[in-house]
Amino acid sequence: MILSSRRVLDPSERISEVLFGLIMALTFTGSLSVAEAGRDDVRAMLVGALGCNIAWGIIDGILYVMGSLAEKGRGLLTLLAVRRADGPAARRLIADALPSPVAAVLTPEEIDDLGRRLRGLPEPKGAARLAKHDLLGAVAVFLLVFLTTFPVAMPFLFVERTHTAMRISNAIAIAMLFVAGFTYGRIVGRSPWGFGVSMVALGAALVGLTIALGG
């Protein structure tokens, strides 16, 4: 259990990456002047939004890999520490590595039994290493950030009038933000509708802040 790495993007991680990519895309579309923008301005905005999300998708993917490796490293160090410790020290190490609700319901004897099982595992060889699903997770992060650009940018490709394209793009962005918040609310066991509305408000605030700071 201690050595297991994260799954390839759990639902909350997927929502986070979609929100991140969406905010990046909205930063570009929101900075476009509807009254003054011509087709060249729209083209430059699309290229900028696409390039930005490609770059941040790559960066976020790299950070995901680094986080996975750090998690594996902590698990390996915890296992080695448990194998060297005994009694209360080992019990404390195991309890700290477990989720709090799980550790709270385990008796000291059950934790000691986990310690004995961990000591019975083969001796770890070498440092922590990345697995295939860690790299797949990085690819998934990149794709989520990158692909989130398209729903928001598509209206500018197919709608001639910039004003109309902006309205359609904003409607799509609001719908995506709401769905992300609704889904997150269900994951954490809170009101999906409340979280959906809150996510729209949060996304709008973050986009406004990013544009105001020159992002």
Residue 4 lies in a domain: no
Residue 172 lies in a domain: yes
Per-residue model confidence as pLDDT tens digits over 138-182: 998 898 888 888 888 888 888 888 778 888 888 888 898 899 889
Per-residue model confidence as pLDDT tens digits over 93-102: 888 888 888 8
Please count the structural domains in the chain: 1
How many CB atoms are located within 10 Å of the residue 82 CB? 22
Question: Residue 205: exposed, middle, or buried by beta-carbon count in 10 A (0-12, 13-18, 19+)?
Answer: exposed
First vs last C-alpha separation in the chain: 41
Residue 3 lies in a domain: no
Residue 191 lies in a domain: yes
Residue 2 lies in a domain: no
Residue 86 lies in a domain: yes
Residue 6 lies in a domain: no
Domain that holds residue 170: 11-212
Contact 73, 155 (CB under 8 A): no
Contact 129, 72 (CB under 8 A): yes
Among residues 29, 33, 25, which one has the least CA distance to residue 53? 25
Per-residue model confidence as pLDDT tens digits over 184-197: 888 888 888 998 89
Angle between helices 39-84 and 88-97 (to 10 degrees): 160
Residue 123 lies in a domain: yes
In the numeric block, the tokens 């001796």 are attached to 123
Q: How far is Cα 107 from Cα 165, in angstroms, rounded to an integer?
A: 61
| pLDDT top residue among 210 and 204 | 204
